Amino acid sequence: MDPEDDESEAQQSSIAKLRVVDQTGEPVAGARVELHISTAGLLSLGKALIRLSESPDRMAHLRQSLPGCAVCFLGLYLQPESAELLILKHEFGLVSYVFGLPTPDSPPPVPHG
C-alpha cells in the first residue's frame, strides 16, 4: 500500500474476517464459502447492512427457511438448503495495524546483514 494514497480512515478500516465453523464453533480447515445471490438480493442485503452498521446491534443471524415457509431477514430469503449465517459487527482497527503494514509514522526499516 502506497502511503501517498489519499484513503480515508474509514476506507483504511474496511476489514472483514470470513470464517467457516462447525456446529461446535471450531474452524473448518480448507473450506470454501460461496454466496449465490440475485441482483435484487445484493441491493436488499446492502441496504440491510447499512442499517445494521448504524444500529447498536452487534450481530445479525440468518437462518435458512423451512420448506414451505419463506422467511425474509436482512433483505434476503435464505433457501432451505443454505447454511446458517452469522454477521458479527466488529471493529478491527486500521489495515496497517491488522496486517502489520508500515505507516507514514513508522520508523525506517533496519537493514539486515
Compute the distance between CA of residue 16 and CA of residue 52 in angstroms, rounded to an integer. 15
pLDDT of residue 4: 47
pLDDT of residue 99: 82
pLDDT of residue 3: 47
pLDDT per residue, tens digit, the chain (113 aa), is 454 454 576 778 888 888 899 989 899 999 898 899 999 999 999 999 999 999 998 988 888 888 888 888 888 888 888 888 889 998 888 888 888 887 777 666 666 65
- In 27-58, which positions are buried (b, 16+ CB within 10 angstroms) versus exposed (e)? eeeeeeeeeeeeeebeebbeebeeeeeeeeee
Per-residue DSSP letter, 4: T
Comparing C-alpha atoms, which of 38, 39, 33, 15 is closest to residue 85?
A: 33
pLDDT of residue 108: 66
User: What is the grid cell recorded at 38?
Assistant: 440475485
Per-domain residue ranges for the chain? 9-98
